[in-house]
Amino acid sequence: MLGSRVLVSAILIPSLATAFWLDARLGDTAPLLFGLCVALALRSTYELTRLLRTETRVPSPALTGCCNVVLIGATWLPHTPLIAPRPDSPELLMPAFICSVLVLLLAGALRYREPGRSMDTLGAELIIVAYVGLLLSITAQLRWVAGANAGYIVLGSLVISAKCGDIGAYTLGRLLGRRKMVPRLSPGKTWMGGLGALAGGGLGALAWLTFATPAIVDEATAPAWYVSLLYGALIGLTGLIGDLSESLIKRDVGVKDSASFLPGFGGLLDLLDSVLYAGPIAWLLWHLLPLATWNGTGQ
């Protein structure tokens, strides 16, 4: 298990870093990130439809996958030549989500055959579009939230804080954890592990923002150390909640992993759970906290 995780991480991390480096040089439209988000959305949709499928609940991977791609397209549209550029404009995302809900309702009406199936299927499809499409699209907005030239400082801060929070929770939980946090849902989670998530996320964000900020943005200074720590701690905590949220889905349907896609990790959703949940919180924090020092106003 550990060897598989190390091997997969040794491949994924350099590949992702290289893709981000190339994408930053291809312009503000971020075409590589767009392709990556579409691929993540389609694979995650496939995994979640399989997880939620029962005899009476049959969510459509094609329909929900199309809705999720539309949401991602709505996120990118304001950053293309088709619409006047906006530095950070998620305003098309909510209309796209509303249209997706309307399409799902229409599809449910057209598919209706007998009582006892439609609401379960429709509810599952709404969860899939909200959990995958909406959360991933808001997370992708981090590419522009603090200026296009600093997009990968922001995205990197999310990924590193969330994953350092995972490491901190696992390490401190294994070494010192005694009291279970939610024993019926996730027996391995402890309150000490929760403190580890706060510490790991805070230290990860502090290290990343301290060194990456001046390296990526010319003449920029890092945010104040206490702001970085607060930001990272909050991302570490919400990442832990994201892990618990995916555990809720898996526990309720009686499976251990969302799929057997990545050796040592499980499915793609098992890898993305903390990032997906923490992404919207990161987007909010980059608006509220003085993190983007290069903008002069800290926002």
Distance CA 227, CA 233 (A): 10
- pLDDT value for 197: 92
Which tokens hold the place of 213?
């900020």
Distance CA 228, CA 213 (A): 11
- pLDDT value for 127: 95
Residue 237 inside a domain? The answer is: yes
Instruction: Judge if 94 and 55 occupy the same domain.
Output: yes
Instruction: Judge if 109 and 42 occupy the same domain.
Output: yes
Predicted TM-score of the model (pTM): 0.89
Distance CA 25, CA 276 (A): 25
The whole domain housing 113 covers 29-143
Distance CA 63, CA 56 (A): 18
Reduced to 3 states (helix: H, G, I; strand: E, B; else coil), residue 189 is strand
Instruction: Judge if 247 and 135 occupy the same domain.
Output: no
Inter-axis angle of helices 225-253 and 151-176, to 10 degrees?
70
Which tokens hold the place of 270?
């098992």
- pLDDT value for 298: 41
Instruction: Judge if 50 and 194 occupy the same domain.
Output: no
Q: Is the separation of the CB atoms in 229 and 198 below 8 Å?
A: no
Q: Check residue 293 and give left, alpha or beta (phi > 0: left; psi -120 to 50: alpha).
A: alpha
Instruction: Judge if 163 and 299 occupy the same domain.
Output: yes
Residue 1 inside a domain? The answer is: no
Instruction: Judge if 129 and 185 occupy the same domain.
Output: no
Instruction: Judge if 139 and 73 occupy the same domain.
Output: yes
- The distance from CA 121 to its chain's CA centroid, rounded to whole angstroms, is 24
Instruction: Judge if 221 and 266 occupy the same domain.
Output: yes
Closest CA to 209 of 185, 225, 188, 190: 225
Q: What angle do CA 184, 247, 133 make, to 5 degrees?
A: 150
In order along its 299 residues, the chain shows pLDDT tens digits of 445 555 555 666 777 778 888 888 888 888 999 999 999 999 999 999 999 998 888 999 999 999 999 999 999 988 877 665 555 556 788 999 999 999 999 999 998 888 877 899 999 999 999 999 999 999 999 999 988 888 889 999 999 999 899 888 888 888 887 888 888 888 888 899 899 999 999 999 999 999 988 888 887 889 999 999 999 999 999 999 999 998 898 888 888 777 776 666 678 888 888 999 999 999 999 999 999 888 644 44
From the number of C-beta atoms within 10 Å of its C-beta (0-12, 13-18, 19+), residue 214 rates as: middle
Instruction: Judge if 75 and 139 occupy the same domain.
Output: yes
Residue 7 inside a domain? The answer is: no
Count the domains in the chain.
2
Instruction: Judge if 160 and 127 occupy the same domain.
Output: no
Residue 89 inside a domain? The answer is: yes
Instruction: Judge if 171 and 268 occupy the same domain.
Output: yes
- pLDDT value for 17: 78
Closest CA to 275 of 99, 16, 26, 2: 16
Reduced to 3 states (helix: H, G, I; strand: E, B; else coil), residue 144 is coil
Instruction: Judge if 171 and 70 occupy the same domain.
Output: no
Q: Is the separation of the CB atoms in 142 and 279 below 8 Å?
A: yes
